[in-house]
Amino acid sequence: TDHLNISREGDDLFVDDAKLTVAISTVSPVSSLFHFGINIDPSGAPVRAAGLGELGIDPRQAAELVLGRYSDECKSIELAVRKVRGTL
């Protein structure tokens, strides 16, 4: 994993031309949903896929890093929303 050729197409990340992630988002009249997944083991995928295991990346460590950063981002957004007054 010294140098990985990672690219982004839409919401998905690719290593070379193998799909590493899956992401989709949608909205309804009352909510929104975002789904994001990172392949650990790509075997059985319906497309050419890459996985963290074959890249030498520990899935647990990667998850802790990503979730920690996501949590920090959510906290930052919440603080930013609280310091702005609503307008009519």
pLDDT value at residue 77: 93
Fold of the domain built from segment(s) 6-82: BirA Bifunctional Protein; domain 2 (3.30.930)
Over residues 10-68, the pLDDT tens digits come to 989 999 999 999 999 999 999 999 898 999 999 999 999 999 999 999 999 999 999 99
Question: How far is Cα 11 from Cα 19, in angstroms, rounded to an integer?
Answer: 11
- Give the CA count within 13 Å in the CB-facing half-sphere of 84: 8
Residue 42 token pair: 């790509």
pLDDT value at residue 41: 95
State the CB neighbour count (10 A cutoff) for residue 45: 14
Over residues 52-86, the pLDDT tens digits come to 999 999 999 999 999 999 999 999 999 998 887 77
Domain boundaries, the chain: 6-82
Using alpha carbons, select from 61, 54, 14, 56 the residue that is nearest to residue 69. Answer: 61
Alpha carbon dihedral 80, 85, 86, 88, in 10-degree steps, equals -150
